[in-house]
Structure 1
């Protein structure tokens, strides 16, 4: 059986090779001779700070001995969180994720360590070290999967938030994994979690799922609103004014009806959403949100009429989106849908927004829409724009927007958009340049 080397043996060998005394090496590391002697003789374990100093003094790269540190001081030893915690933070700093996985795997057989690992994960999350935090959250969640604890639900929420990215299929799987845990969260945490979940389903065009989540949000938000203005006020406050969650749930439900083509129901909710006289909050933040919801409701009323065929409201809708940069991308997408649906010539509108369209990729996140919804809006707009120009016989412009749309759709794994692009391309293949055909083939192979 091969005996694993030790850091102590490596250090002792180094001292002999370099002809250094303990005192001399101590001066190099900034540690006194007694500490070095205790480490070399094995009478004292070392901290991660001491290990880093020793590693640097030996001229080795940062983290060189971390695997040995795990072998020597963590595996097959009673877990010492005073040693493990700084080690995990240091591993996260150096992005040594495999080392973090080894530590978690070594100590998570005992549920007693879950609270501390969860605390460390929260600390890493606060530092923006998402990949490292994810490993700890997953470790705690796996250890507590039969506990039905609130901590398990929070872990699943954190995992869900960290995993949401560009790949829409992965986003869907992450949402499905998290959804059973959302109601185990504290009521205040649930409010924002339900919004996050609904936004993912909305970006995936899973309208029925988005509607069910929105209904849960409405029920919970109304209950919390009643408690807030009764004698049972809670100490914890949500991230946004409490009325926001009621108003936003209505907006989500109305949005689902709109996307499903149920314009009468969508219009009814849009009119209801304009009435915010019931809102009790009067602080500056609440008034800001109240004003925004009223603006959005007016825009939704106009848009719903437009989609139902009332094209006379188009100038009013253009005015509404022109004054709100955050609504410009979805607004332009909606205009192109209407143009293609009702065979309208909107060249003058496209000229009006020529600069904005040329910089459409620079869209930033908005207050109620996450990156996934922006990606969804972007590929939607580009596909409608491509369709508009191709139908008009402007093949060079149309193909350019189509390939742009297909590239982004491939990156985010939006199968619906990719298939639409393929159908449009094949429809006008005879008018496509050889160069564009090569780019198209490359995108198809990439997908």
Structure 2
């Protein structure tokens, strides 16, 4: 058989060439002498631990025999007890090529689909995403004509794995996954809808956010009503780590944000009132519910000030600042929105910028804050740079600073492939071009070339992206 000419043959040659006694190799490698003899005779399959011991005893890199071991796994009776630890070790050593081969071989028999899915879930929980993605894609291919919850779950996991800093890639991942979301268990649906809203929010697709938030509210309301009528505990918290009522509050928060971003501050305030009053209807009276209700109440207070400010009530600014000042994690977000209002209503905020300057990152790499996804913060930071540039130019007549901010925003927007922010930055630079020095113009030329190549890449993949 083919396997006799791989690991065993090389081990026998190593022992003979180095004139090592079997008993000595068994002792140094830690393999039982009788077990070693049966392995060499080909009457016993090699376990993953034994493979590691053999490789170590021969002084070879740990993954030296991995390609040979794939044949070993399938030459005897196929055993998941051997294959599973092999997949995990491949994941540790980034041998995704071997994982792909094992997956392809196993899926020749579709009875192994459930096992592969379970292994993928273990890898995902251990944050071994590259390895898990191979198994999930294999399961998706095997079940592509099914309408199973397992297929939907694989698509959800792949969506999460594929999310990154590239906003256009995130949109493609979201668009592909969205057709599967309603096949998921209700608990997983709620989390999936939340992540979809994050993606579409960074892309400024607020109509989509509104639709997804309404669906989240519908599902969570039904589930919470069922929970309140039942004596059995809900599965949603066990699966998501959050109680059902959290998603009702969050859906209203998301709809308020979507209304705000569309300029409908009156409607936004209506939704603020809904997530501010959780205490009046949430039945749980434990420490967790008090914490969640308190958090949404704080956001409601802050956002009430914000939406009034954006509506043109400039007098509310001092109250807003005094309220937000003790909440360090929220300061940068608040300052960002205050700059937007300042640019619309033309009021000076130099004192506010000076007061909170230590909370304003000077470069995007530092723009990491608690309670916010890093991609959301970075996209918001790119907007902040352009808004601050406009403020510096209009209020301070500081063209040098404005140009620098625009170029910094453009660099970050290109890195994130944020089309909206790229267009804004390029338009602002052209507006301020007469104030730019030669160095700034050269940098803009270089960045414009990157935008061109980015657009070429987008056009190349567009036909097959959906």
Q: State the 1:273 CA deviation.
A: 3.0
The answer for the alignment partner of 2:171 in structure 1 is 172
Q: What is the 5 A alignment of 1:280-359?
A: 280-358=283-361
Q: What is the 5 A alignment of 1:33-48?
A: 33-48=33-48
| Counterpart among 252, 262, 265 of residue 250 in structure 1 | 252
**Residues 1:227 and 1:3: Cα distance change in structure 2 (over 3 Å):** closer
Whole-angstrom distance in 2 between the partners of 1:118 and 1:124: 10
Q: Which runs of 5+ in 2 are unaligned?
A: 452-466
Whole-angstrom distance in 2 between the partners of 1:78 and 1:273: 58
The answer for the alignment partner of 1:134 in structure 2 is 133
Q: State the 1:107 CA deviation.
A: 1.0
The answer for the alignment partner of 1:13 in structure 2 is 13
Task: Determine if the alignment matches structure 1 residue 404 to structure 2 residue 408.
Answer: yes
| Counterpart among 428, 446, 455 of residue 424 in structure 1 | 428
In the superposition, the TM-score normalised over structure 1's length comes to 0.94
Q: State the 1:301 CA deviation.
A: 1.8
Q: State the 1:53 CA deviation.
A: 1.2
**Residues 1:358 and 1:222: Cα distance change in structure 2 (over 3 Å):** closer
Whole-angstrom distance in 2 between the partners of 1:354 and 1:110: 61
In the superposition, the TM-score normalised over structure 2's length comes to 0.90
The worse-fitting range, judged by mean Cα deviation, of 268-277 and 178-187 is 268-277
The worse-fitting range, judged by mean Cα deviation, of 199-208 and 395-404 is 395-404
Q: State the 1:4 CA deviation.
A: 10
Q: What is the 5 A alignment of 1:193-232?
A: 193-231=192-230
Residue by residue, what CA displacement relative to the aligned partner does 1:140-174 show, whole Å, maximum 9, x if unpaired?
Answer: 22212222222222222211112111010111111
Whole-angstrom distance in 2 between the partners of 1:232 and 1:112: 38
Q: Would you identify which runs of 4 or more consecutive aligned residues in structure 1 move more than 6 Å? A: none
User: Does the 8 Å CA contact 2:367/2:378 hold for their aligned counterparts?
Assistant: no
Whole-angstrom distance in 2 between the partners of 1:4 and 1:423: 68
The answer for the alignment partner of 1:269 in structure 2 is 271
Q: State the 1:363 CA deviation.
A: 4.0
The answer for the alignment partner of 2:100 in structure 1 is 101
Q: State the 1:321 CA deviation.
A: 2.4
Q: State the 1:436 CA deviation.
A: 2.5
Residue by residue, what CA displacement relative to the aligned partner does 1:240-276 show, whole Å, maximum 9, x if unpaired?
Answer: 2322111110111111111111222112222333323
The answer for the alignment partner of 2:81 in structure 1 is 82
The answer for the alignment partner of 1:444 in structure 2 is 448
The answer for the alignment partner of 1:58 in structure 2 is 58
The answer for the alignment partner of 1:24 in structure 2 is 24
Residue by residue, what CA displacement relative to the aligned partner does 1:18-61 show, whole Å, maximum 9, x if unpaired?
Answer: 12222222122111332222222222221121111111111111
Residue by residue, what CA displacement relative to the aligned partner does 1:351-383 show, whole Å, maximum 9, x if unpaired?
Answer: 11121124574344543x422221221111111
Q: What is the 5 A alignment of 1:233-244?
A: 233-238=232-237, 239-244=241-246
**Residues 1:207 and 1:235: Cα distance change in structure 2 (over 3 Å):** closer
CA RMSD of aligned residues (A): 2.1
Partner-residue secondary structure (3-state), 1:428: helix
Q: Which runs of 5+ in 1 are unaligned?
A: none
